[in-house]
Amino acid sequence: MAQLVFSSWGREIIDNRQGGDGSSDVTQKKLPVTFDGQRSIAAFMGWDGVIISDPEVDVVAMAAEYAKRVQEDYCCAKCSPGKKGTRVLQDTMTRIINGQGEESDLDEIEKLAKLLQNCKCTLCLTSAIPVLDTVKHFRDDYLAYIHGDRRPKPADYKVKLTAPCQDKCPAHIDIPAYIEAIKDYRYDEALSTIRESMPLPAVCGRVCPHPCETACRRKNVDDSVNIMVLKRTASDYEWQHQLSPPMKPKARKGKSVAVVGAGPAGLTTAYYLALEGYPVTIYEALPEGFGGGMIAVGIPAYRMPRHILQRDIDIISAMGVEIIYDTKVGTDITLMELKQKYDAVLLAPGAHKSKPAGIEGEKENYSGFLAGGIEFLREAYMGKPTGMGKKVCVVGGGNTAIDCVRVALREGAEVSTLLYRRTRKEMPADVWEVDGADEEGVQFEFLVLPKRIVVDDNKQVTGVECVRMELGEPDDSGRRRPQPVEGSEFIVECDTLIPAIGQDPDLSFITEETGIGITRWNTVVTKFVGQKNAAGRDLNDDMGNPLSRVLLTDMDGVFASGDAEIGPLTVVACVGNAHRAAKVIQRYFEEGQAYLTDEDFHEDILSHLGVYDKNEEVPWLDAVNRFNQHEVHGSERASAGNYSEVELGFSDAEAVKEAERCLRCYRVSMIAV
């Protein structure tokens, strides 16, 4: 927003109508100046107040439209205060803007706002907040309508339903809706809701890092709802009861799509395009039986059982998606050949290449020094020799490094040690994964930095020379920067050293003749709308990428998604990114251009604004303990060859009880453009 006329956002009143230049963090950093890179945002109205940037905005008419949309489009009508209160609010606001209101109606609106505090959920409750703010701070504008001195002008309003958890989910699943269905034992309905945004429910019900739970308002009371395992519950119910998925693709259409990679991004785009009737062919470098990309060869079977992954893939194939295995694009077929053969191409090769570790001797081809964590996991899952010995050291602190030390035990290692240059607190790996490694007997060496590979006369690894580290000032990530302690070198004995400090997509198939750009982070360049805030800075998503990317490359008809577009992240991030890619490709086919809709722009704006307030005081009568899924415990679960699933999910009764903890925190956002 270029200027701030008035704001009540966050319960902080900033009023510049009579002059002044007061501002807020939200208007300066969180909201863009334009809605879509072109049309200015005149006003924003939502669950925490009102923000006005254009003095010509008709605040009363906007509040009336907001009340109308809440009542007619979003009120669930499951409680009397919400059902009747929002209707009375709508009728009152309608009378006012039609010139039939009375001054007493303004007092009535204040009473209605108090009544709506008793709603079943927060949708109707929070909808009263911005309307009441306008009554309190724009009373003269209301009186002008009541006295017949003003009539509403035509305006363009963008309205969207959201929730803190839904906003934080990269796939933007309607989480409150599927949890509500589980609460009523309607597992099929819950799964249908999930599949509207996510075609891999069994996968993301097991391996998702569940960022949604970090934005769960229930956490402000006691602990977040176990959203991920409830997703698994809905998915498991279908296959455990041998039910057939109800989805049916539309009639076959003429335009065809090639997808590079059968990972989560490729599978997701293929699924949603196939449902629309488009023939999709996926080219996968791995052999048959390893569909799923990094899910299949990067996530251990004790976290993601292969038969369950395969079921999700089979469902996608049943929609008409063809997967051609053992075919590497760039070797067996070129990108230019795909472009000539198909009407559109999606690049989603995944990140299957480990980053170099920067350890002295890593390029010497020593026996016992393995190429990287990604390669080690892939060889292990495919049943190939890994080159691993009995004393294994893994370098890194992310989830891949944790997977490596845990898999090493299952592959027969007697000692499996993790070397990490910071402390356990700073590890980027999920806490529960680190805890799992600890329980299974993994050894940890914190605050150490590997410097040099130690070998014997036969060039066999016998250890790694490390230096002790200490934490200094925070770096750009907010974590304290590790610094070497002079003279603290020591040797950790091992016969196998595996670096697992990061991974990259292999984009060697993108040749110069394609004209497709590659960033310095080794990701594919895609077009985006230049959203900027009032301070003139680009708006980025949680992953540091520019907001509102169209996912079209520099080559017409060629799109990119997943790790190759956003960088190596999570399955759910790839799914959300790829679902958008499918919609953009569909518009490209049906309308001749790739673009984002108003819904897309609104979604991105809310993601940057943030819907969850960790400081909000959430009233609740009683705290109810969170249900955690059952789990196999004990170090024996990591015995050699034991890849049995460690986490076991909920019983139906437990799932229902956990679903009942959901506060159903819907919110309505409206933007005047």
> Do both 346 and 438 map to the same domain?
no
Domain boundary among 147, 162, 177: 162
- Residue 634, classed as helix, strand or coil, is coil
Average pLDDT over residues 578-583: 97
> Do both 408 and 379 map to the same domain?
yes
In order, the DSSP letters of 426-479 are G--S-HHHHHHHHHTT-EEEESEEEEEEEE-TT-BEEEEEEEEEEEEEE-TTSS
pLDDT digits (tens, 9 = 90+) for 180-220: 999 999 999 999 999 999 999 999 999 999 999 999 999 99
> Do both 124 and 85 map to the same domain?
yes
- Residue 472, classed as helix, strand or coil, is strand
> Do both 402 and 331 map to the same domain?
no
The neighbouring-strand residues paired with 15 are: 6
Residue 129 has pLDDT above 90, yes or no: yes
Average pLDDT over residues 423-431: 90
Residue 78 has pLDDT above 70, yes or no: yes
CATH assignment at residue 78: 1.20.1440.230
Residue 32 has pLDDT above 70, yes or no: yes
Give me 633's structure tokens.
Answer: 């415990």
Cβ neighbors of 667 (< 8 A, separation 6 or more) are 46, 47, 122, 123, 126, 161, 162, 163, 164, 611
Residue 179 has pLDDT above 70, yes or no: yes
Q: What does DSSP assign to residue 129? A: H
Domains held by the chain: number: 3
pLDDT of residue 1: 44
* 142 inside domain: yes
φ and ψ at 52, to 5 degrees? -115, 130
Cβ neighbors of 220 (< 8 A, separation 6 or more) are 614, 616, 617, 618
Q: Report yes or no: 122 and 665 within 8 Å, Cβ to Cβ.
A: yes
* 251 inside domain: no
* 305 inside domain: yes
> Do both 396 and 312 map to the same domain?
no
> Do both 144 and 23 map to the same domain?
yes
Distance (Å, whole) CA 316 – CA 323: 10
Q: Which of the pair, 121 or 295, is modelled with greater confidence?
A: 295
- How many residues comprise the chain? 673
Q: What does DSSP assign to residue 219? A: G
> Do both 100 and 148 map to the same domain?
yes
Please state, as a whole number, how many other Cβ atoms lie within 10 Å of the Cβ of residue 566: 27
Distance (Å, whole) CA 120 – CA 657: 17
**Helix-strand-coil percent breakdown of the chain, rounded to 5?**
40, 20, 45
Reported in sequence order, the residue ranges of 88-239 that DSSP labels E, i.e. its strands, are 157-162
Domain boundary among 137, 162, 187: 162
pLDDT of residue 122: 87
> Do both 347 and 358 map to the same domain?
no
pLDDT of residue 289: 87
Q: Report yes or no: 496 and 488 within 8 Å, Cβ to Cβ.
A: no
> Do both 276 and 348 map to the same domain?
yes
Burial class (CB in 10 A: 0-12, 13-18, 19+), 385: exposed
Share of the chain above pLDDT 90, in %: 71
Give me 16's structure tokens.
Answer: 């510049």
Residue 178 has pLDDT above 50, yes or no: yes
CATH assignment at residue 568: 3.50.50.60
Q: What does DSSP assign to residue 355? A: P
pLDDT band at 543 (very low <50, low <70, confident <90, very high): low
> Do both 323 and 391 map to the same domain?
no
φ and ψ at 466, to 5 degrees? -125, 160
Residue 2 has pLDDT above 70, yes or no: no
In order, the DSSP letters of 142-159 are HHHHHTT---PPP--EEE
* 196 inside domain: no
Residue 25 has pLDDT above 90, yes or no: no
- Residue 142, classed as helix, strand or coil, is helix
pLDDT band at 549 (very low <50, low <70, confident <90, very high): confident
Average pLDDT over residues 42-71: 95
Residue 621 has pLDDT above 70, yes or no: no
Give me 298's structure tokens.
Answer: 């990067």
* 246 inside domain: no
Cβ neighbors of 448 (< 8 A, separation 6 or more) are 419, 420, 421, 466, 467, 468, 469, 492
Distance (Å, whole) CA 405 – CA 388: 11
Q: Report yes or no: 287 and 262 within 8 Å, Cβ to Cβ.
A: no
* 570 inside domain: yes
Give me 430's structure tokens.
Answer: 């999920």
pLDDT digits (tens, 9 = 90+) for 447-457: 999 999 999 99
In order, the DSSP letters of 271-335 are HHHHHTT--EEEE-SSPTT-TTTHHHHHS-TTTS-HHHHHHHHHHHHHTTEEEE-S--BTTTB-H
Q: Report yes or no: 266 and 282 within 8 Å, Cβ to Cβ.
A: yes
> Do both 393 and 457 map to the same domain?
yes
pLDDT band at 81 (very low <50, low <70, confident <90, very high): confident
pLDDT of residue 213: 96
Give me 126's structure tokens.
Answer: 């929070």
* 537 inside domain: no
In order, the DSSP letters of 24-50 are -HIIIIISBSBSSSSSBP-EEEETTEE
Residue 542 has pLDDT above 80, yes or no: no
- Half-sphere exposure of residue 176: CA atoms within 13 angstroms, side-chain side: 22
124, containing H or E segment: helix 122-137
Distance from the Cα of residue 228 to its chain's centroid:
12
Average pLDDT over residues 627-653: 87
Q: Average pLDDT of the chain?
A: 92
Q: Which of the pair, 101 or 474, is modelled with greater confidence?
A: 101
**What residues make up the domain containing 409?**
354-503
321, containing H or E segment: strand 321-324
Residue 316 has pLDDT above 80, yes or no: yes
Quick one: which of 664, 670, 673, 671 has its CA closest to 75?
Answer: 664
Strand 391-395 to strand 415-420: parallel, antiparallel, or no bridges (unpaired)?
parallel
Give me 439's structure tokens.
Answer: 């329980």
Q: Report yes or no: 35 and 605 within 8 Å, Cβ to Cβ.
A: yes
- Residue 486, classed as helix, strand or coil, is coil
Cβ neighbors of 25 (< 8 A, separation 6 or more) are none
Residue 359 has pLDDT above 60, yes or no: yes
Distance (Å, whole) CA 169 – CA 616: 20
Distance (Å, whole) CA 376 – CA 650: 32
Distance (Å, whole) CA 626 – CA 654: 10
Domain boundary among 162, 182, 211: 162
- Residue 242, classed as helix, strand or coil, is coil
> Do both 109 and 15 map to the same domain?
yes
Strand 630-631 to strand 647-649: parallel, antiparallel, or no bridges (unpaired)?
antiparallel
* 295 inside domain: yes
